[in-house]
Amino acid sequence: MKYLIACDLDGSLLNRQGELTKKTIEVIKTLKDIGHVVVIATGRPYSGAISKYEELGLNTAMITDNGGAIDNPMDLTFAKQRTFIPIHMMHGLFTFSKPFIISTFFSVDNVVYAYKYDKRLEEFFSGIHSDRVIDKEMTEFNVEPTGLIYLIDFDKQKDFEGFIDKEYGHTLSYRLWDAAHEYAIYEVYLKHVSKSSAIKYLLDHYEIDPKNWISIGDGINDVEMIRDAAWGVAMKNSVPELKVVCKDITEYTHDEEGFAKYLIKYFNLNV
């Protein structure tokens, strides 16, 4: 019986240092060797995920940008999938929010398009880096984003959310990632796009029964894929929202190789 196993990176496959352990790599290789389809499903952009994909020795499709992009770096015949926020919505949200924006950006491939780029975001969103940043007002960009990150004044959250709900609620959604005393961090994305929607596309592509879909994650952006999977697993270190919708919780955290240990037991692997 062939399974599709969708794996989040940060906080799940990777430890606190953002590294893959030898055991984790061995487990992924063993799952591949016995015929299962292992898929990375991450919020990182392609440029921030490809090195981990290569380190794992994968040859399957890779989901990045929280479902906004699907690629197979090892198969040139694979039709790349992209879903983009319309430019006029990107411009409209920026124009409304400009008075209270601390920083905003999106990335395409290895380029970051930003307004008042803030390097603090690189610590919060793993895989983002400022090697190539084009910093202008967002209305000057005619590049479609798969998603947007906004760092705004803390006391403007209701205004920001209210504008999206009223003007673009039929198309856009948002996640509040963090709210400190001075700022709030939001991810803005297309309403129908998630890691789950991308995985459903790959279930069809690989001709795998949805009953054989396993997802493992830890963050708020994993809720849909954990909720929708036949067997959704939350890491022990995951956010509370994930533990409400999961079918199971790992016994160990990402710093204790919880992912690897869980799948060794689940599939009775000899690793």
Judge whether 271 lies within some domain: no
Looking at 190, 208, 228, the residue that finishes a domain is 190
Give the mean pLDDT of 175-185. 85
Are 119 and 58 members of one domain?
Answer: no
> Which amino acid appears at position 164 of this protein?
I
Give the mean pLDDT of 8-15. 96
Looking at 190, 217, 241, the residue that finishes a domain is 190
Judge whether 72 lies within some domain: yes
Are 121 and 179 members of one domain?
Answer: yes
Measured between alpha carbons, how far is 30 from 24 in angstroms, rounded to an integer?
Answer: 10
The sign of the CA dihedral 75, 127, 10, 17 is positive
Across the chain, mean pLDDT equals 93
> pLDDT-derived band of residue 122, with 50, 70 and 90 as boundaries?
low
Region of poorest pLDDT, from 24-33, 55-64, 69-78, 107-116: 107-116
> pLDDT tens digit string along 21-40?
999 999 999 999 999 999 99
Region of poorest pLDDT, from 35-39, 48-52, 101-105, 125-129: 125-129
Asked whether the whole model's pTM tops 0.85, one would answer yes
Domain that holds residue 218: 4-81+193-266
Give one DSSP letter per residue of the chain, joined into a string: ---EEEE-TBTTTB-TTS---HHHHHHHHHHHHTT-EEEEB-SS-HHHHHHHHHHHT--S-EEEGGGTEEE-TT-TTS--EE----HHHHHHHHHHHGGGEEEEEEEETTEEEEES--THHHHHSTT---SSEEES-GGG-----SEEEEEEEGGGHHHHHHHHHHHHTTTEEEEEEEE-SSEEEEEEEETT-SHHHHHHHHHHHTT--GGGEEEEE-SGGGHHHHHHSSEEEE-TT--HHHHHH-SEE-SS-GGGTHHHHHHHHHTT---
Are 70 and 106 members of one domain?
Answer: no
Residue 127 scores a pLDDT above 90? no
Residue 114 scores a pLDDT above 70? yes
Quick one: pLDDT at residue 126?
Answer: 60
The total number of structural domains in the chain stands at 2
